C-alpha cells in the first residue's frame, strides 16, 4: 500500500497561466475526492468521482476548473487562467468500495499564484 | 447539508497533561463523524471515526472521542499528550450516501515541555 500520491507537491505560477495537478489513488479504490484548503481553514469539498464518473461538483468549482478521471484510475485537476484567489492547498483523497466512508488523503499540492 | 463548528481555534497544553478538543455539528440527516490530524506540510491522517454503535470511539495514538447525539457533539480527548501531538486537528462529518466530508476550521494544538 503506497498511499495516495499527488504531483507536483508545490507549484508557483503567474496569474493567467494554466496549471494541472495529478492524483494517484490507492490501488482499486473506486472513489476519488478533491478538496481545497486555504490558510487557516479546513478543507472544502470540490468534486468527486466514482470510478470514471464525476458524480458531483461543488459551487466552488468555477468554469475555470475541470477534473477528469480517465479509466477510473488517476485523476487530474486543471485550473485555467489562474487567479490569486486560487492559491491554496489542493488535497486528493480516495476510498475503497467496501469502506466508502473512510477517505485516505494524499500530501496535497500547494499552489501559489503570483 | 452539514456544518461543523470547532469551538477552540488554538489549544496550548503542557506535555503529559490531558487535552480536549470540542466539536459541534449540525445536519438534517444521519451522519458519520471523523477526527483528522494534519502535521505541517502534510495531508490529513484519520485519527478515529464514529459510524454507529458505542458512542465512545477509540483511535490511534491514544485519542478517543465521544458522540453525543442530543448535544450534536463529538469531542476529542487524550489523557496525556506528547510533544509529537503538536498539529492541526480537524473535525468532519459526512452523510451516508456520497461520503463527501464537511470540515471544521481546525484546532491548533501546541504541546510545550
- pLDDT band at residue B97, thresholds of 50, 70 and 90? confident
- pLDDT band at residue B40, thresholds of 50, 70 and 90? confident
B77 contact partners, CB below 8 Å, separation of at least 6:
B18, B19, B20, B21, B63, B64, B65, B66
Instruction: Give the burial string for A16-40 (b: 16+ CB within 10 Å, else e).
Output: eeebebebbbbeebbbbbbbbbeee
Phi and psi at residue A70, to the nearest 5°: -65, 135
Nearest CA in chain A to B101: A45
A37 contact partners, CB below 8 Å, separation of at least 6:
A43, A44, A88, A89, A90, A91, A108
The overall average pLDDT reported for chain A is 94
Q: Give the model's pLDDT for residue A1.
A: 56
Using the beta-carbon criterion (under 8 Å), do B101 and A35 form an inter-chain contact?
A: yes
Cell of A43: 478543507
- pLDDT tops 60 at residue B94: yes
- pLDDT tops 90 at residue A71: no
Size of interface A-B (CB pairs under 8 A): 57
From the list B45, B51, B105, the residue facing A101 with the nearest CB is B51
Please tell me the distance from the alpha carbon of residue B80 to that of residue B87, in angstroms, as a whole number: 15
- pLDDT band at residue A107, thresholds of 50, 70 and 90? very high
- pLDDT tops 90 at residue A90: yes
- pLDDT band at residue A98, thresholds of 50, 70 and 90? confident
Nearest CA in chain A to B48: A102
Mean of the pLDDT values across residues A65-88?
95
Please tell me the distance from the alpha carbon of residue B16 to that of residue A30, in angstroms, as a whole number: 41
Mean of the pLDDT values across residues A51-66?
92
Instruction: Give the burial string for B64-80 (b: 16+ CB within 10 Å, else e).
Output: bbebeeeebbbbbebee
Residue B24, classified by CB atoms within 10 Å of its CB into exposed (0-12), middle (13-18) or buried (19+), is: middle
Distance from CA of A46 to the nearest CA of B (A): 9
Please tell me the distance from the alpha carbon of residue A59 to that of residue A52, in angstroms, as a whole number: 21
Amino acid at each position: 500500500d503506497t498511499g495516495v500520491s499527488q504531483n507536483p507537491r508545490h507549484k508557483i505560477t503567474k496569474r493567467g497561466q494554466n496549471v494541472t495537478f495529478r492524483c494517484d489513488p490507492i490501488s482499486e479504490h473506486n472513489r476519488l475526492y478533491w478538496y481545497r484548503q486555504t490558510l487557516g481553514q479546513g478543507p472544502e469539498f470540490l468534486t468527486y468521482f466514482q470510478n470514471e464518473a464525476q458524480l458531483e461538483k461543488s459551487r466552488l468549482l468555477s468554469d475555470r476548473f475541470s477534473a477528469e478521471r480517465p479509466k477510473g484510475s488517476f485523476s487530474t485537476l486543471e485550473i485555467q487562467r489562474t487567479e490569486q484567489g486560487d492559491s491554496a492547498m489542493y488535497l486528493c483523497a480516495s476510498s475503497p468500495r467496501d469502506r466508502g466512508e473512510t477517505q485516505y488523503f494524499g500530501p496535497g499540492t500547494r499552489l501559489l499564484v503570483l | 447539508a452539514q456544518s461543523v463548528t470547532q469551538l477552540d481555534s488554538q489549544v496550548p497544553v503542557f506535555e503529559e497533561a490531558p487535552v480536549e478538543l470540542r466539536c459541534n455539528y449540525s445536519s438534517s440527516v444521519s451522519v458519520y463523524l471523523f477526527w483528522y490530524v494534519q502535521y505541517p506540510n502534510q495531508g490529513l491522517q484519520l485519527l478515529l471515526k464514529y459510524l454507529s454503535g458505542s458512542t465512545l470511539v477509540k483511535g490511534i495514538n491514544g485519542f478517543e472521542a465521544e458522540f453525543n447525539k442530543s448535544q450534536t457533539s463529538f469531542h476529542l480527548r487524550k489523557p496525556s499528550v506528547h510533544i509529537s501531538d503538536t498539529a492541526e486537528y480537524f473535525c468532519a462529518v459526512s452523510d451516508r450516501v456520497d461520503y463527501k466530508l464537511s470540515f471544521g476550521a481546525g484546532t491548533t494544538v501546541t504541546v510545550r515541555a
